[in-house]
């Protein structure tokens, strides 16, 4: 079949006619022309028709463009130039093309990522196949919802550099943590790095997935706390003072809070030991782990009022860089967690910590307070 002037004029007439019947007819004509590698068109005819249609699409109503995009999104012979036009259209037109079309190349998708809306990027993050370069472009936009969608897409390929970057970002953006820990690209080394700032449930996932050795976990936490405190020297220096205060009846949960507020970390750890029997080394680990559940259990065992616990946690978080909004979300989460813990359950966990100060065992014991 040849493309002659009457057929082009007929197509133009269909495009300009605003009736629903004519719009439907135009949509069917477009689908017939470009789906399934229509053999009735030569390459030259297809090029001519593509040029005409690209100009016509700009004149059509959104409803018609949306219909065209839906019908042509899965076509392997959809002209790339027309696919690009539709992909850069309003989101209601663009989304089926962005979500499903295999005609678009990485450069086309990256252009949309750079120049179109958040909604366009969210749809791209759901594509069936996403290359590392497209994933990198999405990540560079630094949009939380887009990144979470990308992380939850098993068909997206993430480079090791992207995984490293997102793991570090997950210190302050907790919505990244769970999908990151379920990614196929996650290495044991990266999971171990995340161990100290994720929740107790996610730590259990890391331990089970990578079969971590308790000694390795202990060393990891020891390294993560390096620079936050000088444990051995501090413990020895503060013990006589703590004994004197204890004899004077001054050691109390309120003093524990005041010591930390004053920056006396070793004094704080010594007071915790006197009040709970938790060894200073473990007390400091519970203090500085970002998730905060261990600190909540310790404070609940002492019947510390919730506002005092939240103040203690907030002071401890200042020792590590953190996004203020993330800290606020963590405080809200721990506020709810603290309300679910009974004093008896917390004291039972603390008793286990006194018997076994191993950090890994301590983390596992936290689950007890939510199952009592």
Predicted local confidence at residue 241, as pLDDT: 81
Nearest to 72 by CA among 105, 24, 25, 32: 32
Specify the pLDDT at position 4: 43
Q: Examine the pLDDT at 305 and tell me if it is beyond 90.
A: yes
Q: Give the chain's mean pLDDT.
A: 82
**Mean pLDDT across the stretch 106-124?**
97
Q: pLDDT tier at 87 (50, 70, 90 boundaries)?
A: very high
Here the tokens at position 257 are 């809070």
CB 146, CB 176: distance < 8 Å: no
Q: Is the dihedral of CA 202, 219, 253, 262 positive or negative?
A: negative
Look at residue 53 and tell me whether its pLDDT is greater than 80.
no
Cα–Cα distances in angstroms (integers) from residue 245 to residues 221, 248, 274, 280, 281, in the given order = 30, 5, 11, 17, 21
Q: Residue 3 corresponds to which tokens in the numbers above? A: 């493309």
pLDDT mean over 16-23: 63
Confidence of residue 78 (pLDDT cuts 50, 70, 90): confident
| Each residue's pLDDT tens digit, 207-243 | 889 887 766 666 666 665 555 544 444 454 667 888 8
Between the CA of residue 82 and those of 68, 85, 108, what are the distances in Å? 11, 5, 12
| 303: region left, alpha or beta (phi > 0 left; psi from -120 to 50 alpha) | left
User: Domain limits of the chain?
Assistant: 1-104, 231-370
pLDDT at 158 over 70: yes
Q: How far is it, in rounded angstroms, from Cα 257 to Cα 312?
A: 6
C-alpha separations of 145 from 119, 164, 173, 176, 325 in Å = 10, 19, 11, 10, 15
Cα–Cα distance, 72 to 273 (Å, whole number): 69
336 pLDDT exceeds 50?
Answer: yes
Tens-digit pLDDT profile for residues 136-147: 999 999 999 999
DSSP 130: B
Which of 1-15, 199-213, 270-284 is predicted most confidently? 270-284
d(CA 330, CA 350): 22
- Highest-pLDDT range among 26-40, 55-69, 306-320: 306-320
CA 254 to CA 271: how far, in whole Å? 10
What was the pLDDT predicted at 200? 74
Report whether 246 contacts 271 (CB < 8 A): no
> Which residue's entry shows tokens 């500085």?
288
Copy the structure tokens of residue 317.
């978080």
pLDDT at position 369 is 61
pLDDT top residue among 263 and 161: 161
* CA distances, 219 to each of 200, 207, 216, 223, 326 (Å): 18, 14, 5, 6, 27
Q: What is the mean pLDDT of residues 82-108?
A: 96
Tell whether the model's pLDDT for residue 261 goes beyond 80. Answer: yes
Q: Tell me which of 62 and 372 has the higher pLDDT.
A: 62
């Amino acid at each position: 079949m040849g493309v002659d002037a009457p057929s082009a004029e007929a197509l133009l007439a269909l495009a300009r006619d605003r009736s629903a019947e004519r719009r439907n007819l135009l949509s069917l004509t477009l689908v017939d022309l470009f789906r399934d590698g229509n053999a009735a068109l030569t390459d030259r005819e297809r090029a001519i028709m593509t040029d005409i249609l690209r100009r016509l699409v700009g004149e059509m109503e959104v409803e018609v463009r949306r219909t065209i995009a839906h019908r042509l999104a899965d076509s392997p012979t959809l002209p790339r130039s027309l696919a690009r036009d539709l992909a850069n259209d309003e989101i209601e037109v663009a989304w089926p093309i962005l979500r499903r079309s295999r005609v678009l190349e990485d450069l086309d998708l990256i252009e949309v990522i750079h120049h179109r809306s958040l909604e366009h990027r969210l749809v791209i993050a759901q594509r069936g196949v996403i290359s590392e370069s497209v994933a990198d472009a999405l990540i560079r936009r630094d949009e939380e919802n887009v990144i979470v969608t990308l992380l939850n897409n098993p068909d997206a390929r993430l480079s090791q550099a992207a995984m490293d970057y997102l793991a570090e970002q997950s210190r302050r953006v907790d919505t990244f943590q769970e999908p990151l820990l379920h990614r196929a690209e996650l290495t044991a080394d990266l999971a171990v790095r995340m161990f100290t700032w994720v929740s107790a449930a996610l730590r259990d996932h890391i331990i089970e997935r990578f079969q971590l050795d308790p000694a390795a976990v202990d060393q990891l936490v020891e390294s993560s706390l390096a620079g936050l405190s000088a444990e051995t020297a501090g413990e020895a220096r503060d013990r006589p003072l703590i004994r004197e205060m204890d004899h004077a009846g001054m050691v109390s949960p309120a003093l524990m809070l005041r010591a930390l507020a004053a920056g006396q970390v070793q004094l704080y750890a010594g007071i915790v030991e006197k009040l709970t029997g938790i060894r200073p080394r473990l007390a400091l680990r519970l203090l500085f782990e970002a998730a905060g559940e261990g600190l909540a259990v310790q404070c609940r065992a002492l019947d510390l009022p919730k506002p005092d616990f939240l103040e203690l946690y907030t002071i401890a978080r200042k020792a590590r860089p953190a996004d203020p909004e993330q800290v606020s979300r963590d405080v809200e989460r721990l506020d709810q967690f603290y309300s679910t813990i009974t004093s008896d359950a917390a004291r039972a966990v603390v008793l286990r910590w006194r018997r076994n100060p191993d950090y890994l065992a301590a983390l596992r014991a936290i689950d007890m307070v939510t199952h009592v």
